Chain A
Amino acid sequence: MAYIEFKDVIKEYKMGEVTIKALDKTNFEIEKGELVVIVGPSGAGKTTALNILGGMDSATSGEILVAGKNITKFKNKQLIKYRREDIGFVFQFYNLVQNLTTLENVELATQICKKPLNPKEMLIKVGLEKRIKNFPSQLSGGEQQRVAIARAIAKNPKLLLCDEPTGALDYKTGKQILKLLQDTCRKEMMTVIIITHNAALTPMADRVIHFKNGTAYKIETNQNPTPIEEIEW
């Protein structure tokens, strides 16, 4: 049994009288410690799948098993607990709390966890040693995203979910961020799932899931993923 299993997951949105199916019987599996890239065009259901996996949204039907637990059956409180202990999120727009310093933003996450990593060490790891006392507004986009990643990783989650983490970044910075994610996956043995619309990135993943019209229509596995440094786009 795989670490993560999506079984016939359907997600419907009701927009007045029209029902839109964001996910239509999606099925895929992910193994523990894999770096997964989900690719597909806009509106294919990537984010919806990730949100449901991350406990931020619920599926209309179907089953999602994470480490053997069916999270679709979770009540609200269980979902929060799941988010709190098992999930780390990284967004396109970082979503740092503006009023908190870099360190504090990481601490915001660690203080609610059972076994957090050291926030300072985490920041050193992401290379922001000198930015610890700065506020987000004083940082560049890449730096902010690194803070966001540090915040997500510091929670010591089972899953690190990243929704277009480089979408707002330039090429070079984006590459650095991706490197960080790849390294994290490899070094921390963390399962990392990255959404991107950039198909060029697929070689870096252990597993690539292709989305189209609400379903994962193609799942590939790379036996030898390419390090990000070697990928050009």
Chain B
Amino acid sequence: MKKALLKDSIKEIVKTFKRFISILLIVLLGVGFFAGIKAASPDMKITLDKYFDDKNVMDFQVISTLGITNEDIEEIKNLEGINYVEGSYQTDAIVKIGEEEHVVKVETVTENINQLEIIEGRLPENENECVVETNFLTNTKHKIGDTITVETEKITDDEGNEKELLHNKDLVIVGEIKSPLYISRDRGSTKLGSGMIDYYIYISKDNINTDIYTNAYIIAEESKDLKCFEDGYEEKIEKQIEKVDEISDRRREARYNELFNNANEKLQEAKDEFNTKKADGEKEIQEAEEKLNSGKQEIITGKNQLQKGKEEINNKFKEARKQIEEARETLNTKQKEFDDKKKDVENRIGEYENNLDNLKNIQTQYNSLKESLNTKQKEYNNLEEKLKELDEKEDQDEITNIKNKMESLNLEITKLKATINVIDEELKNQGIDDINTSVSTLENAINNIKLELTNGQKAIDDAKYELEKQEDEIDKQEKNAYNELAIAEKKIKDSDEEIKKGEEELNLAKEEYNTKIAEAESKLDESEEEVNSIQKPDWYILDRNQNAGYVSYIQDTDRVAKIAEVFPVVFFIVAALISLTSMSRMVEEERVEIGTLKALGYNKLQIANKYLIYAILATLVGGIIGLVIGFKILPKIIADIYGMMYEVPDVVLEFNMTYAAIGMSAAILCTLGATIYSCIKELRQKPANLMRPKAPKPGKRVFLEKITFIWKRLNFTKKVTARNLFRYKKRFLMTIIGVGGCTALIIAGFGLRDAISSMIPSQYGKINLYEIAINLKDEYKNEELENINNNILGYKEINNILNVNVQSIRIDKNDNNQTIQLIVPEDVNKIEKFINLKSRTKKDEKYTLDNSGVIISEKLAKLLDIKVGDEIKIINIDDKEANVKVSHITENYIMHYIYMSPELYNTVFDTRIGFNVIYANSNEMSESEENDLGKEILQNKDYISGVEFTSASKDMFEEVMENMDLVVWILIISAGLLAFVVLYNLLNANITERIRELATIKVLGFYDKEVYEYISRETIILTIIGMLFGILGGYFLTIYIIKTCELDILMFNPQITIWSYLLGIVITGIFAIIVNIITYFSLKKIDMIESLKSVE
């Protein structure tokens, strides 16, 4: 029985294949779109979850204002429910490439958490290596193997010493990586450079010159088993965060104590050192003073002694001289006496000398005689000798000669002897025995006397000499003594001077000492204050919801899900309507069969089963094909579109049972509902009634006929059309919804494109009027700024400039994490040439900046629900807070801005603002000219850190926008499918349902064209009405899609151009024309005879 029914259904399907297909198709579209778009969001989330699990991305992290110690990490690790903890060091740094400075986020490579994806190369192994993200390489034209220099700020270690953070600043790029922590393009903000981080790089832990970490990344136990966007996960992580929060007080205290004690110890040491040094100094001064005093005393005694010594010496030498004088007188007397005596003696010596002279004469004669005698005697002796020798030789002649000589000699000798005797005799008479002795005696006597004399004189002379010597000695001594005195005196004088000098020096030293002490004391006070000002660190425990990329990704996927809620509704409604028309026609057509079955005793359900099975089959087959296609294709396309904005792996496509079930249920509800509705109407009738041909639907007058003045003007065919239009309400509704939906989708597609593409020219052509933004190294004011300005104005391409202060700020409202740029122009009157502050809706309303409040950008106002006149609390880059009033809301499409006058800024933040960016208007330039100018400006490296051309931002955004074309295509294709299904169904309905009517007019002789017009006039009017609704629907759909899918930092321009409307109409029209062409040929084929055969 059941088999029979199923068979019957299948036969029916074959018989009415077109009808079956149209139900199947619309279900396919509805379910496919619903499930596909709906699944895109969870698929993308699952992809992210899996990616995060694969890379061991942290569940949450702890950031401490005073750093995280190894003990902190240990303690967290020991908490229950914590799977893994790892510390990491993060800092912002500047990398200079050419003339340009790039701000990078530097982080240490973590081992088992937040693992990096290596695209090329390897991870850093040594302290001089780093890895960088892909953008860094492409934008800076660096490659692996190149070296970059990273400039970080100095750090203060726990002992309070300043030092370099990195051991090594020159880093070799060894790899290209992707970090799961940065899935969006947002790299966060910084206090360096332009305020925005350009790139991230990772370095080895070894390169960090400290044991303290900035972050502790934490993975909770079993967190990977949960999907990170589900409530269970959040709950679990929240619990873990609470646990960490519980120990945070203690850990913070510990860290505080550690740092405080360190500092305090150091302070105490310094204090002790100060005190000892102070005491030492004082002692030294005292000693010096004492020394000076004793020196003074010594000088006084010295002076006294000197006086005494002088007197003594004077006395001593007076006495000595007196004695010498006395001695000299005595000596003089002695001389006189001696001189007298000498005269006497000299007389006597004269006598003696006379005697002596006589005697000496005699003596001389005597002696010469004696000598001659001796000589002769000797000669004689010699001859005698000779003679003796000659005897032996017997030389007679010789002998004789010698004997003769001897004879003569002998004679002479005798004579001489005789004379000598005579003299001797005489001398004897005179009493002299030996003349020689007498002479010598006499001589001796004289000599003795003379000697005595000389001796006497000599003694006197000696005495005199002695005396003189003594006198000299005394003189010498006196001189020496006086010299010594003089020296001593000088010495005293010198010491005196020295002491005076010493005194002066001492005074100076004292002064110095005092100032130094004061200085040291104030320094100590300062350090003490510093020590006391050490605050307990704050712990920020941040989960993934504080990761900008993660949050925006999740938000974006939610947006997609929201679109899935409206978008397929059109398809479902149309599915219901198509089912309704198809099924009721089918039931009507088979009323006789139904009647027969009923008459045979089948109950309602059994009869209805056939139609229900038919509907279910169409729905199931369509739905399943739709699910397969939808799940396979749509999430991929959507994920690919988002993939251009996020760096996540290829989407994981899952068969999402929930959405499959919801989509299928909705489709079945629509088709079955429609079928049951159609069946019930017929089944209620009596079998007999059913067996009879159905009374044709009675003709009715339409309300238009009551408006006679219009009705009258319509010609016959138009009247027919008008009446027919209102006759088939289901068809009317279906067509309007279908065609309207199609038009609306196409308009939405193009409208979305309009909204996005007009954003760029609006932002960069009508709002941001400057061509160049020149980033300065620092904030400058006054002359410095003037110099820079003059320099910049020196470039001939630059016409006009405006100094501004640009900084990233936050608004303390609604827990928002929007990145907002505060722009403070130096001259509020000049800003209109650089930034157009105006109303978006009121064409001519321009705003000026004044001191009464700030102007904020439109999207920001919308996001944070801020209205003109509201007061907002802004937090500037130095974490200072201020309340300001919002005076206007300005048109803006890309990013968030707050504009403020410098006076207001100075007032609310109590400061004097400097300027860090120069906006410049330039001549029109080609890209290469821009590059050249950029390079030239960057030459001024002393004060310029970067040059940005708005054309570059324009290009970048344009690229992103190109991707949106894909969305437009999806919309157009789906719209086309919708229009096609609906119009084709309409055609089908028109032909089968009105076949007798058509055959009749054919028989009447209507030409093919006329037959076609008879039908198409209705279709065309319905299509036009549908289009009109579609225009309206398209407008609202565009607004809806824009609202749900625009990014936070963007405001799409919700102005749909006339072209989009036209395109929506034209494309829908093309679909309608295609269907109409098919209609034409279908009508031509109608067999009049078959159609007009009796009803049975």
Contact = CB atoms under 8 A, between A and B. Distances in A.
- Are the chains A and B members of one assembly? yes
Interface of A: 51, 54, 56-57, 76-77, 80-85, 87, 89, 91-93, 95-101, 104, 107-109, 111-113, 135-138, 151, 155
Given A91-B1092, A135-B700, A138-B698, A104 B1006 contact: no
Contacts of A155: 1004-1005
A85 B1004 CA distance: 9
B1095 A93 contact: yes
A93 B1005 CA distance: 18
A138 B699 CA distance: 9
A91 B1092 CA distance: 8
A99 B723 contact: yes
A138 B717 CA distance: 22
A112 B1089 CA distance: 21
B1007 interface: yes
Nearest to A161: B1003
B717 A83 contact: no
A56 B1003 contact: yes
A98 B699 contact: yes
A76, A81, A83, A97 interface centre (most CB from chain B within 10 Å):
A97
Contact of B719 (A54, A104, A137, A138): A104
Given A85-B1005, A108-B720, 5 more contacts: A76-B1008, A95-B996, A100-B699, A137-B696, A137-B697
A118 to B, nearest CB: 14
Interface of B: 695-700, 716-717, 719-720, 723-724, 727, 996-997, 999-1008, 1010, 1088-1089, 1092, 1094-1095
Nearest to B723: A99
B699, B1004, B1008, B1089 interface centre (most CB from chain A within 10 Å):
B1004
B1049 to A, nearest CB: 58
B716 A135 contact: no
B1004 A83 contact: yes
Contact of B699 (A76, A77, A95, A99): A99
18 contacts: A56-B1088, A77-B1007, A77-B1008, A83-B1005, A91-B1092, A92-B1094, A95-B1000, A97-B720, A97-B1000, A98-B696, A98-B997, A99-B700, A99-B724, A100-B720, A100-B723, A108-B716, A111-B716, A111-B717
B1005 A87 contact: yes
User: Which 10 residue pairs of A and B lie closest in terms of their CB atoms, listed nearest first?
Assistant: A84-B1005, A135-B699, A137-B698, A83-B1005, A98-B696, A99-B699, A95-B1000, A56-B1088, A109-B1004, A98-B699
Contact of A135 (B698, B720, B996, B1095): B698
A98 B697 contact: yes
A80 B1007 contact: yes
At the interface, is chain B mostly helix, strand, loop or mixed? Answer: helix
A77 B1002 CA distance: 11
B1089 A51 contact: yes
Contact of B997 (A77, A97, A111, A135): A97
Contact of B716 (A81, A92, A104): A104
A95 B996 CA distance: 7
Given A87-B1005, A135-B699, A137-B698, A99 B727 contact: yes
B918 to A, nearest CB: 77
Nearest to A111: B716
A80 B1089 contact: no
A84 B1007 CA distance: 9
Nearest to B1006: A112
Contacts of B1088: 56
B298 to A, nearest CB: 147
B850 to A, nearest CB: 71
A184 B1004 CA distance: 19
Contacts of B723: 99-100
Given A84-B1005, A89-B1003, A100-B699, A112 B1010 contact: yes
Nearest to B699: A135
B1004 A108 contact: yes
B699 A137 contact: yes
A107 B723 CA distance: 15
Nearest to B1005: A84
A96 to B, nearest CB: 8
Contacts of A112: 1004-1006, 1010
Contacts of A84: 1004-1007
B856 to A, nearest CB: 62
Contacts of A99: 699-700, 720, 723-724, 727, 997
Contacts of B1005: 80-85, 87, 112-113, 155
